[in-house]
Amino acid sequence: MTFSIEPWTEKTVVVHVGKALDFRNAANFKASCQDQVRDGIRNFVLDFSETGILDSTGLGSIFSLYRQVSPLEGQVVFASVSRPVQVVVQLTRTYKVFRQFPSLEAARETLQ
């Protein structure tokens, strides 16, 4: 597990994804995010600044989170997207689904 979760507000957390979100830790990521949703969190800012690997299973776990919070008027947004993650975003065109911010500060200004 390389990710860590930082509370921002009552309803918003930042997930510092760390070096990798792939088939090796995606289940753990999904379970941790589900716990957050159960605790009332609705908005997830995914910090990809340190991320060198995002694979299909990792992306699938993010879709799972999106499906969970969307009906609750929650959001999943990307911040500080690294080049390896941007390549996945472009390949899969997920920029149509997940709003991107150049930095955590920019995400904070918009979401709070």
Separation in Å, CA 26 to CA 1, 8, 11, 59, 93: 9, 22, 22, 8, 20
Residue 52 engages another protein in binding (rule: CB under 8 A): yes
52 DSSP assignment: -
Could you tell me which stretch among 3-11, 41-49, 56-64, 101-109 binds another protein (CB under 8 A)? 56-64
Residue 90 engages another protein in binding (rule: CB under 8 A): yes
Options 67, 103, 109, 110; binder of another protein; rule CB under 8 A? 67
Residue 107 engages another protein in binding (rule: CB under 8 A): no
Burial class (CB in 10 A: 0-12, 13-18, 19+), 102: exposed
Site for another protein in 5-34 (CB under 8 A): 22-24
Q: How far apart are CA 43 and CA 11, in angstroms?
A: 6
Residue 56 engages another protein in binding (rule: CB under 8 A): yes
Residue closer to another protein by CB (options 45, 76) is 76
Q: How far apart are CA 54 and CA 51, in angstroms?
A: 7
Angle at 90 between CA 85 and CA 93, to 5 degrees: 115
Site for another protein, rule CB under 8 A: 22-24, 52-53, 55-57, 59-61, 63-64, 66-67, 83-84, 86-88, 90-94, 96-97
